Amino acid sequence: MESRLQKIFFALSFLALALIIAAAWQANTPTWKTYQHNFLQLEAQGEPNAVTKAAVLATPPEVHQVMLTGLQRVDRCTTCHLGAEDPTMKDAPEPFRYHANLGPHISSKFGCTICHGGQGLATDKEGAHGKVDFWPNPLLSKDYIRASCGRCHKEGEVPGVPELTEGRRLFETQGCRGCHKLNGVGGSIGPDLTAEGANHRAPEWLERHFLSPNAVSSGSAMPNFHFTTEQARDLTYYMLSLTSEEMGTYYSSVRLIPGPEYGRQLFVEKNCIACHMVGGIGAKTGPDLLGVTKRHSTEWLDEQLVNPELVYPGSSMPAYDLEPNARKALLAYLDSATPDDVQLILSHKTRALSPEDVAIEAGKQDFARFGCVGCHGTELQGGVANPNAQGGEVPSLLHVSDDYTKDEVIAIIRNGRAPPLDNASGPTPPLYMPSWKHVLSDEDIHRIADYLWSKQQKKAKDSW
């Protein structure tokens, strides 16, 4: 018995040794070493003589990695994709092929996964391409990679990616903010989209969702906006680009140069002149902006653009969802704005604006910007389906003055309202009027009401 036990002990000891050797062997033969070996052979083919060939082949295998602190990631993709930066590898087979058209996006500064997705830390193919369990961010297919441009290029036109520019424009004009928050501005009927890209939904899912929300997400309250397939793709691009990741200064500063030209564009786009004047030219609701950059510090002005209420409690200026660089650009423009230039901007408007018109115009802006158009329509026509609400759809606002006084409408905007039911025992309609009193100032609400009243159409019998 004792000698048998001793034999068992030695056998188990050898087994343990064998297991350690097996584990070491397993650790020592990862697939990336095979790729590196193949790559060296490929490289050696191009060498003129045996000595240099041998030198190339003698390169020790190692993990290549790019530490990207500014992007909070480490990419090891070039451990296998060895020819990505070598133009002589432009016809090489994958994974060694040269990556053309990178422009300024060199891999030592950007890595790979910020655009392509995938798991930069991994050193095996399946893991690195992210097609494994528990890695929510697999490689983006060719059709959607360019959506990643929007992760740094957060504003202005993104060269070569019209989808993003159009997606953003659709988001701001179709009233998406009526239900969805983005960077803190918007309604709360739908999910907050500030970091929608970080939810890693499949692009195909998003696209189908925009074409028909209920087809992929049953019971969704989101109305069908009847987008075209192109528009659905544009919006998908925009959604994929929305992440709340902190990008390092290097990356956020390449978004665009915050020059006065872009600032002027924003000044026109955001219609600052609807409330403000420059050197006496413009509207009188807000303060004159001539020389404003001399009167206040940059920080003060920046805060004013982010959160006006904080600077001046009760300020009637709305909070604009502007990127830091957009704010810089706007301030750069204000620094150089002249009354003549503003006159030029105003002259492009169809007619000179009276103070009343200015208020109505501001109301219209609010109506679009805060997403009222999402349900009530860009022309106040309503008509978005809302099952079991009276009439089965969101009401048109063109005749609202027939049934309500202005004060009643203001109260509804302030406090919100559940729609009256078609069938009292039926299900709750998915859409309802949210309360806006915490989002909009009283001034804004009054302006929206003014805008509505300016658009009222009398019923046929009244006009008769």
Residues of the shown chain interacting with another protein in the complex, contacts defined by CB under 8 A: 2, 5-6, 8-9, 12-13, 15-16, 19-20, 22-24, 26-28, 63, 74, 76, 119, 121-124, 127, 133-136, 217
Task: Name the minimum Å distance from CB 9 to another protein.
Answer: 5
Cβ at position 82, least distance to another protein in Å? 17
Strands 66-68 and 73-75: antiparallel
Comparing CB distances to another protein, the nearer of 193 and 301 is: 193
Determine contact, residues 422/389, Cβ cutoff 8 Å.
Answer: yes
Q: Nearer Cβ to another protein, position 74 or 185? A: 74
Handedness of CA 383, 212, 201, 253 (dihedral sign): negative
We find the least distance from the C-beta atom of residue 8 to another protein, in angstroms, to be 5
CA dist 75 → 41, 79, 122, 147, 197 (Å): 24, 9, 8, 20, 20
Specify the pairing of strand 281-282 against strand 277-278.
antiparallel
| Shortest separation between residue 67's beta carbon and another protein, angstroms | 11
Q: Give CA angle at 426 (420, 428), nearest 5°.
A: 60
Q: Which is nearer to another protein, 200 or 296 (CB)?
A: 200
The nearer residue to another protein, 16 or 106, going by C-beta atoms, is: 16
* SS3 at position 410: helix
Residue closer to another protein by CB (options 18, 106) is 18
324 cis-preceded (ω within 30 degrees of 0): no
Q: Cα separation of 285 and 271, whole Å?
A: 13
* Nearest distance from C-beta of residue 11 to another protein, angstroms: 9
Taking the complex as a whole, the smallest distance from the CB of residue 176 to another protein amounts, in Å, to: 20
User: Would you say 208 or 455 has its CB closer to another protein?
Assistant: 208
Distance of CA 351 to the CA centre of its chain: 35
CB of 199 closer than 8 Å to CB of 168 = no
**Smallest gap, in angstroms, from Cβ of residue 76 to another protein?**
7
393: helix, strand or coil: strand
Question: Which CB sits closer to another protein, 74 or 254?
Answer: 74
